Amino acid sequence: MRILFLGDIVGRSGRDAVAAALPRLRATLGVELAVINAENASHGFGLAPDMARVLFEAGADVLTLGNHAWDRREIIPYLATEKRVIRPLNFPPGTPGGGHAEVTLADGRRALVVNAMGRLFMDPLDCPFRTSAELLARYRLGASVNAIVVDFHAEATSEKMAYAHSFDGAVSLVVGTHTHCPTSDHQILPGGTAYQSDAGMCGDYDSVIGMAKEGAAARFWRKLPGERLAPAEGEATICGLFVETDDTTGLAKRIEPLRMGGRLAPAMPRA
């Protein structure tokens, strides 16, 4: 299975860039499953339903969220009907929405997409390791599903790495989101799981993690409340990764980074 994962969309700049490029990326790379973290898509904070629909129309199969899941209150009733938008599974029981989505391809192959959130320097949620293990016990990679993709939304690289090694061989891909800076540690772990600590963001990199420089820098200079943050609106760089899996085992055969447009050095996976 050919899988494209794009990192956190930040604001209009990132949203428009992804919507414009995704159809071409799907065609050029032969993408069969496209997963996008969209938790910062609406003005940098949260995801509004109308913006989710734009991304689905462009070719996204599943949208993941994170710590900004509830910043746009209108997403709460939307999650009740749109199962392709998922929030971290380790929110407490009773939280709206779900933490995983099952996708059936046109040829009948099936994929599971999971969203989990770390706890180091983040909100004190339920344990992402135990909740993920409980969910994954219901699936068998290469048997009940052909691929399993995990978006691990976390601050600490150590927690992301520990999570990936914990589930090495049980999932196809563990990719980190949240820090908005693409890492260069893309690899296939010993058990066959593809891994990258952070996919990076889809947004303007002439910024402070996607936010306009002036307001973001002022928060560090003055430490006063009320400094308004707004997404930077320059040309976006689309960041993510491309993974190809073995349909028999569900394990990764290759992982390559993707960076296009904007300020970062380009990287395009082989077709």
Residue found by looking up tokens 């400094």 in the block: 227
Question: What gap in Å lies between CA 151 and CA 64, rounded to an integer?
Answer: 7
- For residues 65 and 152, the answer to whether their CB atoms sit within 8 Å is no
Catalytic: which of 43, 68, 178, 180?
68
100 is catalytic: no
SS (H, E, C) the chain: CEEEEECEEEHHHHHHHHHHHHHHHHHHHCCCEEEEECCECCCCCCCCHHHHHHHHHHCCCEEECCCCCCCCCCHHHHHHHCCCEECCCCCCCCCCCCCEEEEECCCCCEEEEEEEECCCCCCCCCCHHHHHHHHHCCCCECCCECEEEEEEECCCHHHHHHHHHHCECCECEEEEECCCCCCCCCEECCCCCEEECCCCEEECCCCECCECHHHHHHHHHHCCCCCCCCECCCCCEEEEEEEEECCCCCCEEEEEEEEECCCCCCECCCC
Could you tell me which residues are beta bridge partners of residue 95?
none
Question: What gap in Å lies between CA 14 and CA 20, rounded to an integer?
Answer: 10
Tell me which DSSP letter residue 176 carries. Answer: E
Catalytic residues: 68
